[in-house]
Chain A
Amino acid sequence: MTAAFRSRRVLATSAAVVALLLAVLLSLAVGARPIAPGTVLDALLHGGTGDDAEVVRQLRIPRTVIGLMVGAALALAGTALQGITRNPIADPGILGISQGSSVAVVLAIAFLGVHSLSGYVWFAFAGAALASVAVYAIASSGRGGATPVKLALGGAAINALLLSVTTGVLTTKAAALDEFRFWQIGSLDGRDAATIGQIWPFLLLGAVLVLSVARGLDALALGEDVAKGLGQKVATVRIVGGLGATVLTGAAVAAAGPIAFVGLAVPHIARAVVGSDHRWVLPMAALIGPVMVLVADVAGRIVFPPGEVPAGVMTALIGVPFLVTLVRRKAVPA
């Protein structure tokens, strides 16, 4: 590894930090009510008063922080999933894991009368876990094991399955529909500040789990047999990494609803910039993920004023061209 490469990595990471700070500033300043950066800083640092400062503090800071957390969580989860499944298009949305969380939440809302975040976050985890296991099992059947296409199809099948459960519930329970239709759209809007306090422990746990298997993911990238030859306990790496990804996905979905494609695109961007050593890729992903989510959120705020396009829709609209390019470049082995 050349010195040039090493310094490039450091440079890239610093650039990412700067980008993140800018994104945060944007997120705090831009909106239906544009606020000058100066006022923003004033509100943050000097406890300024006035309507603008209130908007910053009450609405935008929580929104931005949630965007940060969700972006980081999904990016880390996506990186872990891509490493574990050795599949460049793995992503919590494509593999049906986000949908698993959604279904669990809708069931909790409809049948168990759970209406608070701290209540249904546990369901979100359970749903994510069950979905991951199911997808892996269904994709590993037949010849060839869990190839990328089979995994994607397995995810789509699980998605369809879970979606039908959701629609079945929503068709029969009208009250649930009214609450759920707003929840199921991945959005940073209307999420409450209390969410932050409830989510961050899970985020931390998931991040620790994923970071702990960084070396294992590096080895796994060389192939299962090679990894074993290098002394890695492949099953442990998969389980711990999978657990981390599940916790992160569950937390993110519980906080902001299902936001797709962040977990798909960000790991690729991170790898393109800092190479494939997961000890660098993971932190980079954790920096770029929030940038993507916050930028999407900001774009959604200004694209059709005065209405907002939710971040989840914006990431999907950006993510699809990304996926198309990736697949067309034959970056995905059949």
Chain B
Amino acid sequence: MSLTEKAPAAVARPGATRPAGYGLVRTGPASFLVHRRSVLAAAVLLLLLAAVSVAYLCVGERTIAPGEVLTILTGGDSPAAFVVEELRAPRLVTALAVGAAFGIAGALIQTVARNPLASPDIIGISQGAGAVTVAAMTFGLASYTVLPYLSIAGGVLAAALVYVFAWRGGLHATRFVLIGIGFAIALRSLITLFMTKGDFLVAQQAQIWLTGSLNGRGWEESAPVRWTLLLMLPAVLWAARAQRTVSLDDATATALGVRLGRVRLGLVAVGVVLASVATGVAGPVDFVALLAPQIARRVTRTAQIPLFCSALLGALIVTAADLIGRRLFSPVELPVGVLTAAVGAPYLIWLIVRSRTGEKA
């Protein structure tokens, strides 16, 4: 194909050079690109989430009709109001918040690590939070109200250490991931050590925490994650745009004026804070941070991982998992972590099987 005499290929549609699949909104000098498929996906996910949330409130030891639930939610009075408002709604809100936080955190960590298998657990956040929590439980270091905050501190500290050790004139994805994995293993061995130091009951409690559970997480307990999501909203909005810029190679991105070091630090920081807080509240709920972003990306078919859809999917997964966990072997409750693992594990296996047939992961 020669450049010199060929007529330029007819630009078939107006705005043909605008990245495909985006709608344009222009008002004066301002212009916004909106990815149509993502908006559609988000709308569908919101509907699903609403449906699952209502189901969550209906189902339980005492089944309450959806109509009644809606009445209660809109302020009406009903004999079931107590159950819905005091017992189920707080736990639902926790599930939604924790799921959203994990979804966003997973998306950001995967973007910075440039790998779909990266997740907050593998860079030591869950293990950091776990080590601190199990130690506190075993040696009776803190009351149960303070415990979540200790967990959060543990997670943030572990991630900060990983970041510091991985930083050397800039953050490279590979170093970050490898050192994170090393820390995770070391912290995990500490956790197993602490598990042997206490009596059996404490070990059992610790084990349940380590699995990830929403039991007893009500309005107060979920405060950290709700507030964090709210306060970090501007940061998340920033991250959604900034994400695009780190997916090119370092040289090209810098040539385009991206301050790679700062952007990566920012993305990691947001991810770490959200993951740590969610872990502090509910324990390390397996696989949500791994699954939600990947499913979201496949749904929206974008080159980078959609944050909003990841958040919605994370919330959806955790809520649905907790719903099933509450009812499956009723009256025994399965911790939500068991259910998410039950879904996440087959997903991983599917990834493996798919790779055998030669498709790209």
Contact = CB atoms under 8 A, between A and B. Distances in A.
Q: Does a CB–CB distance below 8 Å link A and B in the complex? A: yes
Interface stretch (A58-66, A117-125, A152-160, A239-247): A152-160
Contacts of A89: 178
Contacts of A324: 165, 179, 182
Given A149-B178, A184-B192, A327-B182, 8 more contacts: A93-B185, A138-B351, A150-B117, A167-B337, A171-B207, A172-B338, A260-B186, A313-B190
A185 B134 CA distance: 15
A138 B352 contact: yes
Interface string B175-219: 101110111111001101101100010011001101100000000
Interface stretch (A35-43, A140-148, A271-279, A287-295): A140-148
Q: Is the interface of B mostly helix, strand, loop or mixed?
A: helix
A309 B189 contact: no
Nearest to B345: A161
Interface stretch (A68-76, A78-86, A198-206, A314-322): A314-322
A185 B189 contact: yes
A153 B117 contact: yes
B63 to A, nearest CB: 26
Interface stretch (B69-77, B295-303, B353-361): B353-361
A174 B332 CA distance: 14
Contact of B341 (A152, A168, A310, A313): A168
Instruction: Give the residue among B113, B119, B186, B342 with the most A Cβ atoms within 10 A.
Output: B186
25 contacts: A138-B348, A142-B361, A152-B177, A152-B178, A153-B117, A153-B118, A153-B181, A160-B119, A163-B286, A164-B341, A164-B344, A165-B341, A165-B345, A168-B338, A168-B341, A171-B335, A177-B203, A313-B193, A316-B185, A320-B183, A320-B185, A324-B179, A324-B182, A327-B182, A328-B175
Interface of B: 113, 115, 117-119, 121-122, 165-166, 168, 172-175, 177-179, 181-186, 189-190, 192-193, 195-196, 200, 203-204, 207-208, 210-211, 286-287, 290, 335, 337-338, 341-342, 344-345, 348-349, 351-352, 354-356, 359-361
Interface of A: 89, 93-94, 134, 137-138, 140-143, 148-150, 152-158, 160-161, 163-165, 167-168, 170-172, 174, 177-178, 181-182, 184-186, 260-261, 309-310, 312-313, 316-317, 319-320, 323-324, 327-328, 332, 334
A167 B355 contact: no
B345 A164 contact: yes
A161 B344 contact: yes
A174 B113 CA distance: 37
Contacts of B182: 94, 319-320, 323-324, 327
Contacts of A185: 189, 192-193, 195-196
A107 B182 CA distance: 26
Given A93-B185, A141-B361, A156-B117, A181 B179 contact: no
Contacts of B173: 149, 334
Given A142-B361, A184-B192, A167 B354 contact: no
Contact of A323 (B179, B193, B195): B179
A141 B345 contact: no
Contacts of B203: 177-178, 181
Nearest to B126: A160
Given A154-B117, A185-B193, A260-B185, A167 B210 contact: yes
A134 B181 CA distance: 18
A133 to B, nearest CB: 9
B337 A160 contact: no
Nearest to B165: A324
A186 B208 CA distance: 22
Contacts of B119: 160
B38 to A, nearest CB: 23
A167 B177 contact: no
Contact of A181 (B196, B338, B344): B196
A163 B165 CA distance: 26
B178 A327 contact: yes
Contacts of B348: 138, 157-158, 161
Nearest to B335: A171
B277 to A, nearest CB: 20
A137 B211 contact: no
A137 B181 contact: no
A185 B194 CA distance: 10
A312 B196 CA distance: 13
A170 B341 CA distance: 14
B174 to A, nearest CB: 4
Contacts of B185: 93-94, 260-261, 316, 319-320
B211 A171 contact: yes
A181 B356 contact: no
Contacts of A320: 182-183, 185-186
B255 to A, nearest CB: 20
Given A177-B203, A310-B193, A156 B351 contact: no
A101 to B, nearest CB: 14
B355 A160 contact: no
B208 A137 contact: no
Nearest to B180: A156
A202 to B, nearest CB: 24
A149 B354 contact: no
Nearest to A309: B193
B78 to A, nearest CB: 35
A170 B190 CA distance: 18
Nearest to B189: A316
A334 B174 contact: yes
